[in-house]
Amino acid sequence: MDFMNISLIGILTSLAMGGTLPDDSKTQQQVAQVSTHILPNIAGQWQLRLDKTDAAQPSCQERYNFGRDQQFIGSSGQEFTYGKYLYADTGDGLPALAIQTQYDNNATDCSGNRVDQTGDILVAYVKQQGEQMQWCKDSKGTRCDMTLQRVLP
């Protein structure tokens, strides 16, 4: 145990027993607020590279960013979306990922479609190995259609 932990334990024990912290009105104290976030191992930016359907067209990329506080941002071609995500252990098989789109700019995506996905919920099972993540249709990971590479942690 280091000195900081011992000091903190002493202060908390004193307060629990009815003690008070010293109040020196001549000295202005600044209190730092600390917040912590627990991020799932999929947190960060991921990219799905799609095959070109037309050799004359530049390759199109889909990017998915899973941030803290379950914030999700996605882009595919000209389409931009954001929303919330939930990543949780299912207890039986692969962890599940649910993404609910809260905003879609309704622009053309990499597949050439223009569909407003606002309010839609996507559910996939996630098979992750190192810097690669697959989205699967089943919890056993036998039907995986999408493979993404990590771009940023």
| CB 81, CB 117: distance < 8 Å | yes
pLDDT of residue 28: 61
Residues of the chain with pLDDT under 50: 1-6
Give the domain 44-152 fold.
Answer: Lipocalin (2.40.128)
| CB 87, CB 38: distance < 8 Å | no
Domain boundaries, the chain: 44-152
In this predicted model, what pLDDT tens digit does every residue of 4-27 receive, in sequence order? 444 555 555 555 565 555 555 555
- Mean predicted lDDT score pLDDT of the chain: 83
pLDDT of residue 52: 61
Name the pairing type of β-strands 61-66 and 79-88.
unpaired
| CB 37, CB 68: distance < 8 Å | yes
Residue 42: in which H helix or E strand, if any? none
- Backbone phi and psi for residue 74, each to the nearest 5 degrees, phi listed first: -135, 150
